[in-house]
Structure 1
Amino acid sequence: MFVPARVWPGIPEGTEQRALVDRNADPRAWLAAVYSNVPLTTQWDKGEHQGDEQGTTPTSSNSLPSMVFTMLSDLDVEDGHRVLEIGTGTGWNGALLSHRLGAENVVSIEYDPVIAEQARENLAEFGPPTPLVVTGDGREGFADRAPYDRVIATASVGDVPIAWIEQTVTGGVILAPWGPLYGGEAIVRLTVGDDGHARGRFTRSSAFMRIRQQRPELPEPGVFFRGRTWPADGRISTTTLSPTAVGGWLAQFVIGLQVPGAFWRTERYDDGAYTLWTYDIAGDSWASADYVPEASSFDVVQEGPRRLWDEVEAAYRWWNGRSRPGFERFGLTVGPRSTVAWLDDESCPVPGAEWLR
């Protein structure tokens, strides 16, 4: 009822998409995809891509069903709760909430007007009554129906909007996929306090599309070299930490907490070797670390005011020295002036993991 005729099925873990499945061309394959535990990409490149091949960037999807259900379990709604959903998508999640709480208690915000209208049509077929679907910027919430007992986001953020806290009752819950620029992501469950802050732990790993207004424009590699050839003016050294150690989803998350404003790319070669490039979003610092199979040390080059590989390595060794705690041991405190990440409780902030508004 909610999935469109043309979808690109994903995989249960990760962000890879398979080939197009078209209901009109192969209804059995489409039905099998719809009832599989995989995410389904429903839009590429903000709707600008219309072909059968994959586009450049997926911009809307029907989420992994098991993730939908576990997030709704984390949300822990009760009879009479009012819920604000950020990211309507196909309307399926809003329909589940409406079925549980009554459509009059659900508001859903969708930034893309085409997707919002299709969701309204889907929900009208499911209803009536239907939840209110608002076309707008989800970061602003929807004050006209506030306050809410629960806020749930179905697109990831790197900065929890303060409007979500302001529009949630004291003791209410905000549930959102959250991740740093560097990579890694998990579902954070925040409880709103009477001090204007929301705090809570992460519950599970996730991999959602970023909310559109928080997708940064990343500098191209040429910006860092400005016509110069590698290694430019970089400082050459070696490390015993393999670049493969820092590539896992959880490792990326922990590094991202401590190395703000950094992102990475890989350059792969035929023999299994590769170069891990780390860049500063400011465009003035970079680092390369060369992985060679079976090697025990690896060449590193760094240039700029930040020694990015040194930062990455220090963050990894901090995590490794604490027996590599999982997502569920980390938490956030979000307030009007800053966001702070911590390990186990607020008395143990993660080094460098404070972001001012």
Structure 2
Amino acid sequence: MASGALTSDWLPVFQAVPREEFVPDRIWPGIADGTKQSPVVDRGADPDAWRRAVYSDIPLTTQWDDGRHDADGVGNTPSSSNSMPTMVFSMLRDLDVRMGHRVLEIGTGTGWNSALLACRVGNSNVVTIEFDPDVARGARANLARLKLTPTVVEGDGREGWAAGGPYDRVIATCSVIEIPPAWLEQTRPGGVIVAPFGTEYGGEHIVRLVVDDDGAASGKFTRGSAFMRARQQRTARPLLPEYLGGKEWPADGVLSKTSLAPPDTGSWLAQFVIGLGMPGAFWRAERYDGGAYTLWLYSRDTLSWASVDYASGRTEFEVYQSGPRALWDEVVAAWQWWTDHDRPGFERFGLTVTPEGHHIAWLGSPRIRVPRWA
């Protein structure tokens, strides 16, 4: 693999477990750098296009809307996939898995990743958990064709699977906004947890945590990612009327001005850094002609909201804020903190998780915590 993600020690496993054995006949190819999907590619109708997609370094969506979508077009929310090979092998490299390690995988999907792990460490050493029964059945069938028999558990991945532990390695193939305490409890001291960790506000990166003797875990982020959120950690996102209490906008919103342009806060990394300091908040954009838009900010508890009107060429922008949290002020504070530290990249950030599930984000070392503005 040209990216270097597939190292020589993984090459025999890659050759023994062809990706095409774990891809269904109907797929929605994605793109390497982003979250968009193309219309369906059907193996029966166009086998060449299907094979090109399978052997491209792109993610392949295999299910939409928790299985409710069966049309040819894209659905609303992708809910299962076969991940991009570069990401698969990069995360396996982060995992540093060795022969004989006990491994727990969260999110079986099509079964390709668990097949790779089973070939690497042995069938009896791999447990993989899948919440969706239909997806789990498909993975079992895919694994059985290659005579691979890792333990496939249908259940809530947040709870892990204590019966198979303790584990030397835990890997998640779905993103989380909280590392479940059970993952730490079921990992040996010195064991490694690799997971896509995102903020509710936006942005996501792979974190590599090492569990210590006290049951806490700490480590740095290794690369950007854009995985599907674990179903049990999807958060409700109420609409504006629920915040206005029956009044017309701007209701009791307080008007102010800002010189921070909303697009400056919108990159994947900026969203991630802002989100680390703004728990329980999310955004939407209402777009207009000519590139203008309103950035809406909301607190999950429906008590606070803010709006910022953006148009190109301006140096000041109108802001309305309402509720106990001044959400745009929080964004500005988080963005300014990041700027004051020379806008460090994701690789400078790390995460510490306690056995109780508390998350502490830090910059450079655990001694320098990312402030929380809420």
Q: What TM-score do the two structures reach when normalised by structure 1?
A: 0.97
Distance 1:271 1:49 in 2: 34
Instruction: Summarize deviations over 1:192-245 as a string: whole Å, max 9, x none.
Output: 000110111111111000101110111112101233222221111111100000
1:353 Cα deviation after fit: 7.9
In structure 1, the partner of 2:18 is none
Deviation at 1:336, TM superposition (A): 2.2
Which residue in the other structure is 2:256 paired with?
Answer: 237
Q: Per the alignment, in what secondary structure is the counterpart of residue 202 of structure 1?
A: strand
Aligned mates of 1:15, 1:229 — CA distance in 2: 35
User: Match for residue 34 of structure 1?
Assistant: 54
Which of 51, 76, 81 is the equivalent residue of 2:96? 76
Give the alignment partner of residue 86 of structure 1, picking from 101, 106, 109. 106
Secondary structure in 1 matching 2:235: coil
Amino acid in the other structure paired with 1:93: N
- Helix, strand or coil at the partner of 2:45: coil
The more displaced of 104-113 and 345-354 is 345-354
Q: Is 1:151 matched up with 2:167?
A: no
Say if 2:29 and 2:38, in contact at 8 Å, map to a contact too: yes
2:157 corresponds to 1:138:
yes
Deviation at 1:321, TM superposition (A): 0.8
- Structure 2 counterpart of 1:246, from 253, 256, 265: 265
CA distance in 1, matches of 2:329, 2:136: 45
Q: Name the structure 2 match of 1:288.
A: 307
Check whether the contact 1:340–1:353 (CA below 8 A) recurs between aligned residues.
no
State yes or no: 1:351 paired with 2:351: no
Structure 2 counterpart of 1:260, which letter? Answer: P
**1:318 correspondence with 2:337:** yes
Q: Which moved more, 1:332-341 or 1:260-269?
A: 332-341
Match for residue 247 of structure 2?
228
How far apart, in 1, do the equivalents of 2:186 and 2:280 lie?
Answer: 29
- Conserved? CA contact 1:85–1:108, under 8 Å: yes
1:56 Cα deviation from its structure 2 partner: 1.1
Which of 67, 71, 77 in structure 2 is aligned with 1:51?
Answer: 71
SS in 1 for 2:109: coil
| 1:191 alignment counterpart | 210
Q: Does the 8 Å contact 1:42/1:62 carry over to 2? A: yes
Could you tell me which of 289, 297, 314 is aligned with 1:270? Answer: 289
Contact 1:179 1:253 in 2 (8 A): yes
Q: Which residue of 2 aligns with 1:306?
A: 325
Residues 139-190 of structure 1: per-residue CA shift (max 9 Å, x gap) = 1111111011000000011111111111111100000000110000000100
> What residue number does 1:161 align with?
180
1:323-338 aligned at under 5 Å gives the runs 323-337=342-356, 338=358
TM-score by length of 2: 0.93
User: 8 Å contact 1:257–1:353 — kept in the other structure?
Assistant: no
Conservation of the 8 A alpha-carbon contact between 1:113 and 1:135: yes
Which of 131, 143, 151 in structure 2 is aligned with 1:111? 131
2:24 counterpart residue number: 4
Rounded Cα–Cα distance in structure 1 between residues aligned with 2:114 and 2:39: 27
Q: Indicate the residue corresponding to 2:9 in structure 1.
A: none
1:302-345 CA-partner distances (Å, limit 9, x unpaired) = 11111100000100010011011111111111112321111111
Aligned partners of 1:235 and 1:301 also within 8 Å: yes
Q: Is the 2:333–2:373 contact (alpha carbons within 8 Å) kept by the matching residues of 1?
A: no
SS of corresponding position for 1:36: coil
Question: Which residue in the other structure is 1:121 paired with?
Answer: 141
- Contact 2:28/2:40, CA 8 A, preserved across alignment: yes
Q: Is the 8 A contact 2:306 2:328 kept in 1?
A: yes
Q: Structure 2 counterpart of 1:28, which letter?
A: D
Task: Report if the CA contact (8 A) 1:2-1:90 is conserved.
Answer: yes
Displacement of 1:294 in angstroms is 1.1
Equivalent residue, structure 2, for 1:101 = 121
SS at match of 2:365: coil
Cα RMSD after superposing both structures? 1.1
Unaligned runs of at least 5 residues, structure 1: none
